Structure 1
Amino acid sequence: MRILLYAALLSLLVSRELLDLVTEQADDEIVFPPERWAATFRSHAQLILHELGEYLGYSTPPLLERLIEDTQKIHQQRPILQETFATAIQPRCES
């Protein structure tokens, strides 16, 4: 639960800093309503993370290798949704 709080605070901090930067670069008569800024920030979050990663020198993990590896890590005891659904809709035999 604590990690979610940290993530929210970090997001808020980054959003505010970027808003300050955008406000500084924009013409003085331009207004940035908080709701509109929040929606804009949210819709560009993935791009912001990508740009920040490049700036900091992080390379993205190889996607296909990551997908293959993560798929193999699924715990054997954890049922797959389709299997659970198929089992649930099977007619039960009464003795």
Structure 2
Amino acid sequence: MLYFVEIDVKIPAEIDPSRLEDMKAREKIASSEYQRSGEWLHLWRIAGKFGNISIFDVSDHDRLHEILWSLPLFPFMTIRVLPLARHPAAIDRPPA
């Protein structure tokens, strides 16, 4: 199943800087692993924000939930999820 996921991250000002750097490093490792697995298809930065727009291809809602909850920065995220369905007017294109 395909999902459009918009993530906005709001870090509390009082967080310990070394803890934040550790969380960011673990976040990068986690997102890289999910991308390599093929579950996190696209990851796009939102210009001017600490957030992203992503496309996930996972087996079901529960798997997406597991992935999002596993992210180290999850406690600081506001997440919007939209399930995607193929549009009948979409033209099939070969992968880039």
For normalisation by structure 1, the TM-score amounts to 0.31
Structure ranking higher in strand proportion: 2
Structure ranking higher in helix proportion: 1
Structure scoring higher RCO (CA < 8 A, sep ≥ 6) equals 2
For normalisation by structure 2, the TM-score amounts to 0.31
